[in-house]
A = this chain, B = another copy of it.
């Protein structure tokens, strides 16, 4: 497909989104210290990152608040305790899972909230719920994006129909989400072209959220970028569920726009991420994640194998074959 931009110049449509608290929160049950979150906010502001995702807006009726850190729920007051009035260029966002949030209670008018953008996450079988949630958030005044998850398991004709439904809401961006870390750059390129065949009609931007099961999160992200995708998710040191995500240090090291600054990311890595790792928080490429990614399966079994330090890879792989 046609390439957008080149390796030496700036693409003004690019938006970098830091998803460390949200996807990284899936690693440690959102148990981040306030110091970590404040330093992360500061790093993102100084690095010129465009959006910082705080976490989920999960329903307190569905999830026990005593069992998770506060960023599972991302209350407006908790965000404000970190950012004050957020008198910066960094926009703030949270993720709302269709069917797992109480949006009519927890998502208030944008003018009264520190949040700028709501990221609606949905499976393909939940589209009417997704549309309702997108419309609700738009009406409240937020920027809205939509992550259609697990598309590598869905028929293209169904994805196309979902894209039409979502794009017609007039939201800001639709994300290409490689939930299982199963996709390779060549597929990302095709999927981008496929998504654009719908979203271009409605003037809706595209985003990419990649996982690193096959060490392709950064490669898939820059492939999507080359193909015209604008919203790029990354996390500090790639922290995220299982094999993790596209690393912020790699992405900002790559982007040429002088508005992005690399040094605040390095500072955050050396002050906070090194400490987090030394405390035993584990994520990143390993064989079980590679196997679920290769098999286009949910990483749940791999996360369990890693927790049990199970290195019987052949037995694990055979188990996956039987689930296929």
Q: Tell me which residues across on chain B come within 8 A of A222, comparing CB atoms.
A: 184-186
| Cβ-based interface call for A290 (8 A) | yes
Q: Whose C-beta in chain B lies nearest to the C-beta of A293?
A: B253
How many copies of this kind of chain does the complex include? Answer: 2
Residue of B nearest to A216 (CB): B219
B-side contacts of A212, CB under 8 Å: 215
- Most B CB atoms within 10 A — which of A185, A266, A291? A266
Chain B CB within 10 A, most for which of A223, A263, A287:
A287
Report if A126 contacts B (CB, 8 A). no
Name the contact of A249 in the complex, choosing from B218, B290, B312 (C-beta under 8 A): B290
Which of A102-110, A148-156, A168-176, A267-275 is the contact stretch? A267-275
CA distance A310 to B254 in the complex (A): 23
Least distance between A254 CB and chain B CB atoms (Å): 7
Contacts of A254 in B (CB 8 A): 184, 214, 294
Q: Is A311 located at the chain interface by the 8 A CB criterion?
A: yes
State whether A253 and B290 are in contact (beta carbons under 8 Å apart), knowing that A214-B218, A222-B184 are contacts in the complex: yes
Q: How far, in whole Å, are A222 and B214 apart by their CA atoms in the complex? A: 12
Q: A314 at the A/B interface (Cβ < 8 Å)?
A: yes
Cβ distance A71 to chain B, nearest Cβ, rounded Å: 25
Q: Which of A248-306 contact B (CB under 8 A)?
A: 249-250, 253-254, 262-263, 266-267, 269-270, 274, 285, 287, 290-291, 294
A199 interface hit (Cβ, 8 Å):
no
